[in-house]
């Protein structure tokens, strides 16, 4: 009875804020029935709506009362002021709670036909669509950052479906390599921490092939109901009921999952408890990268689905929404890269690189740290173009760029400075540390051999590094910020350029750190 009274107070409070006139009028009673249908009991306890669901619910509430002169954000603020909003609700198991409520209503003979737009039924009893809260929350959180969206999707699909574990991978469609990106609720390390091609014929290899053409050896499994596959233009899934019965099963990995493995840091889920799973993937062969979400319930040793039909319906709704957003985010990322990246090498272009330099310079001033810069030039680059042609010269630039990028620190920033020159910003790196990074880059390029026909061509670089003190950094920051000095004439860039000149004239294929004797007159 107390719970019913608390819920009635909540409904009354919302109706009042929506501007209902006359609490016992026909209009008032009709609106309250709609409000009651929009707010499931599993997200409104003790007469309050869970804080992490208040915004999507308020969007729907505003739609119920179009005559109101406020937006959803204003309604949220008013309900918070009325203390009708609680803290964050733990999303784990939320979907199961909705299913239990659905079962309770069904047991009471309530035939619920969802009315599109408001979520109420036609027989006078109202109930929210059991996908509304989780899906709308995800819609509000998703943005233009592809990597951030992965975390949002992982968290929301885990919460909505109530699965115990999610692993996120990406597949490079060019190289067919898998790479592990994120994990939540799963034990152990992945074999795909570094990009790798799955072994021919095993589980992940089959999933890769699914994206392009159904492998012939899967038809029997489909016929016997051991797997289910759904694929459309932008997303799909492969549900495996019992991987131990599949001819593509990786028996060694199955044993590790069930009985543990020291190398992969797995305790093991127990015999028979790591066999049911579902792969959900987004993208297709025309995309550069495909995202794969591996969902399991191994940690809680329960079936993957509470109600398979209902859970798959939710998965379809989730996937359709996320796929559409993902396409938009990927397109946005490509547009952003066109504005900030060098088209040939994929590194930061000159203009964007200069902006990043200003950010690092400001950080050096603020935190009283030294700042270093490395200028890199490919030795005898003109000869590559003249002897082997410009396409080969372009290949050299791409290979050198990616090799350099792989040898700098996580906090360093690399860009194409111009022609065959590259620049690397080295934050908080005293002179000796900067030279060490330079030497690491030089030696990596020295080992680089680029194929041309039936032979390989060696490539070498010369590198000049320079460092400025905290005091010099502050002077430089003031000069550049005021527009009194072109970027290439700044003291740090000039010193690195002088050191590069010394490396070139000292025999090339070496690293030189600036000293006063190098200063040009």
**DSSP per-residue codes, 109-165:** T----PPTTT-B-TTS-B---TTHHHHHHHHHH--S-HHHHHHHHHHHHHHHH--SE
Ranges of residues in the chain with a pLDDT under 50 are 91-131, 521
pLDDT of residue 134: 59
- What is the DSSP pairing of strand 461-468 with strand 511-513? parallel
Question: From CA 457, how far away is CA 446, in angstroms rounded?
Answer: 11
Which CATH number applies to 350-518: 1.10.3720.10, 3.30.70.270, 3.40.50.300, 3.40.50.10170? 3.30.70.270
Lookup result for tokens 């000039």:
494
Half-sphere exposure of 288 (CA within 13 A, CB side): 4
The ranges assigned to domains in the chain are 2-134, 142-335, 350-518
pLDDT at 88: 64
Q: Three-state SS for 263?
A: coil
Q: Kind of pairing, strands 48-49 and 277-282?
A: unpaired
What pLDDT is stored for residue 426 in this prediction?
96
Its pTM stands at 0.57
Select from 500, 470, 497 the least CA-distant residue to 361.
470
Structure token pair of residue 128: 């929210």
Question: Closest Cα to residue 293, out of 144, 149, 397, 132?
Answer: 149
Q: pLDDT (tens digit, 9 = 90+) per residue, 224-240? A: 888 888 888 889 999 99
Do 115 and 121 touch, CB atoms closer than 8 A?
yes
Annotated active-site positions, please? 420
DSSP three-state, residue 15: helix
Question: What beta strand segments (E) does 297-394 contain?
Answer: 371-378
Q: In 10 A of CB 291, how many CB atoms?
A: 23
Cα–Cα distance, 9 to 241 (Å, whole number): 46
Picking from 114, 111, 154, the residue whose alpha carbon sits closest to that of residue 132 is: 114
Can you point out the beta strands (E) in 224-325?
227-231, 235-240, 277-282, 289-296
374 contact partners, CB below 8 Å, separation of at least 6: 423, 424, 426, 434, 437, 438, 441, 463, 464, 465, 496
Return the pLDDT at 276: 93
Closest CA to 116 of 60, 67, 157, 68: 60
* Radius of gyration of the chain from its Cα atoms, rounded to whole angstroms: 30
From residue 388, how far is each of 304, 326, 450 by CA, in Å?
Answer: 58, 41, 12
Residue pair 241/225 in contact (Cβ under 8 Å)? The answer is yes
Q: Give the CATH number of domain 142-335; options: 3.30.420.40, 3.40.50.300, 3.40.50.620, 3.30.450.40.
A: 3.30.450.40
DSSP H helix total and E strand total for the chain: 17, 15
Residue 326 and residue 504: Cα distance in Å, rounded? 47
For 359-407, write each residue's pLDDT tens digit. 999 999 999 999 999 999 999 999 999 999 999 999 999 999 999 999 9
Q: How high does pLDDT run on average in the chain?
A: 83
Tokens found for residue 260: 């543990």
With a CB cutoff of 8 Å and minimum separation 6, the contacts of 76 are 54, 55, 58, 85
């Amino acid at each position: 009875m107390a719970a019913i009274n608390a819920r009635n107070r909540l409904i009354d409070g919302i109706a009042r804020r929506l501007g209902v006139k006359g609490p016992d009028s026909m209009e008032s009673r009709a609106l309250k029935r709609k409000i009651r249908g929009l707010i499931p009991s599993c997200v409104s306890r003790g007469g309050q709506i869970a804080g992490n669901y208040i915004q999507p619910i308020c969007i729907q509430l505003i739609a119920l009362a179009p005559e109101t002169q406020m937006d959803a954000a204003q309604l949220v603020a008013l309900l918070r002021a009325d203390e009708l909003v609680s803290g964050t609700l733990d999303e784990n198991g939320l979907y199961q709670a909705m299913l239990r409520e659905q079962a309770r209503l069904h047991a009471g003979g309530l035939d619920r036909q969802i009315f599109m737009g408001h979520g109420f039924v036609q027989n006078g009893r109202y109930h929210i669509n059991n996908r509304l809260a989780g899906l709308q929350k995800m819609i509000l959180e998703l943005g233009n950052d592809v990597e951030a969206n992965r975390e949002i999707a992982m968290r929301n699909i885990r919460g909505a479906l109530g699965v115990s574990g999610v692993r996120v991978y990406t597949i490079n469609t060019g190289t067919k390599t898998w790479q592990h990106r994120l994990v939540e609720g799963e034990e152990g390390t992945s074999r795909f921490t570094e990009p790798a091609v799955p072994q021919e014929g095993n589980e992940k290899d089959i999933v890769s092939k699914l994206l392009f053409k159904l492998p012939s050896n899967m038809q029997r499994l489909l016929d016997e109901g051991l797997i289910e596959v759904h694929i459309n233009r932008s997303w799909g899934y492969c549900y495996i009921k019992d991987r131990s019965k599949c001819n593509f099963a990786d028996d060694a990995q199955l044993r590790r999952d069930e009985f543990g493995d020291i190398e992969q840091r797995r305790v093991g889920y127990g015999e028979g408890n790591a066999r049911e799973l579902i792969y959900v993937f987004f993208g297709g062969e025309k995309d550069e990268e495909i995202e794969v979400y591996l969902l399991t319930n191994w940690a809680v040793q329960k079936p993957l689905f509470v109600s398979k039909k209902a859970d798959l319906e939710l998965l379809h709704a989730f996937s359709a929404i996320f796929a559409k957003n993902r396409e938009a985010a990927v397109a946005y990322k490509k547009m952003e890269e066109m504005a900030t990246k060098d088209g040939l090498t994929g590194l930061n272009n000159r203009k964007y690189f200069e902006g990043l330099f200003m950010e690092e310079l400001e950080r050096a001033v603020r935190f009283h740290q030294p700042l270093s810069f490395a200028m890199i030039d490919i030795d005898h680059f003109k000869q590559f173009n003249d002897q082997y042609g410009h396409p080969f010269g372009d290949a050299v630039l791409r290979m050198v760029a990616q090799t350099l990028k792989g040898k700098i620190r996580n906090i360093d920033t690399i860009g194409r400075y111009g022609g065959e020159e590259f620049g690397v910003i080295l934050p908080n790196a005293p002179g000796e540390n900067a030279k060490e990074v330079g030497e690491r880059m030089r030696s990596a390029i020295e080992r680089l051999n680029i194929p041309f026909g039936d032979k390989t061509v060696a490539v070498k670089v010369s590198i000049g590094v320079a460092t400025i003190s905290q005091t010099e950094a502050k002077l430089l920051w003031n000069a550049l910020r005021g527009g009194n000095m072109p970027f290439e004439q700044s003291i740090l860039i000039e010193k690195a350029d002088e050191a590069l000149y010394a490396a070139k004239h000292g025999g090339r294929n070496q690293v030189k750190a600036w000293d006063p004797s190098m200063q040009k007159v």
